[in-house]
Structure 1
Amino acid sequence: MSITVFAKPHCAQCDATKRQFNKLGVEYDVVDLTQDAQALESFRAAGYRQAPVVVAGEDTWTGFRPDMIKKVAELINA
């Protein structure tokens, strides 16, 4: 499963999301939304208004979601 965290600098929820993935040993890629205007506009058009936006396989969510992070970690480690 490919996991990408679309984050902004100095974003507490973004940092918390990355820390939780690290704690659970889940590998992920990070895309800086301030450097990727196309991704930012795509998420805005889809109705997302909060960072981070996490894309994990077929799941997508915004904000710090420990429940979703745990679900993804369990799927990967199964």
Structure 2
Amino acid sequence: MITVYTKDHCMQCRFTKKWLDEHGIEYSLKNVDADPTLTEELQQMGFQAVPVVVAEGYEPFYGFQPHKLEKIIETL
């Protein structure tokens, strides 16, 4: 399962979600604007900005990075 930490007005978040949608990949969203306590979760992982993509078996990463998303979906 892929989880994307996001905010409402984040362009890179939109690109990440659009890419996943276009490839038919299921994912869950954690919206930091809707739940500010998620900021602490991100900070504990070492991030201060979104999007952050978390997938089991992979190092979490920041930003819209299609090459990393492609590696993840190869194993789904």
Partner of 2:4: 5
Aligned partner of residue 4 in structure 2, secondary structure? strand
- Offset at 1:51? 0.6
Tell me the residue number matched to 2:37.
Answer: 38
State the TM-score, normalized to the length of structure 2. 0.87
The alignment's TM-score, normalised by the length of structure 1, stands at: 0.85
1:19-52, CA deviations, whole angstroms, 9 ceiling, x for partnerless residues?
1111111100111111222221121233202211
Q: Write the distance in 1 (CA, Å) between the matches of 2:41 and 2:26.
A: 24
Counterpart Cα distance in 2 of 1:50 and 1:39 = 11
Q: Does 1:70 align with 2:67?
A: no
Separation of aligned partners in 2, 1:46 and 1:71: 21
Alpha-carbon shift at residue 16 of structure 1 (Å): 0.3
Counterpart code for 1:35: A
Alignment: residue pair count = 75
Unpaired segments ≥5 residues, structure 2: none
List, as ranges, runs of 4+ consecutive aligned residues in structure 1 with deviation greater than 2 Å.
none
- How far apart, in 1, do the equivalents of 2:3 and 2:44 lie? 18
Amino acid at match of 2:62: T
Please state which structure has a larger fraction of its residues in helix.
1
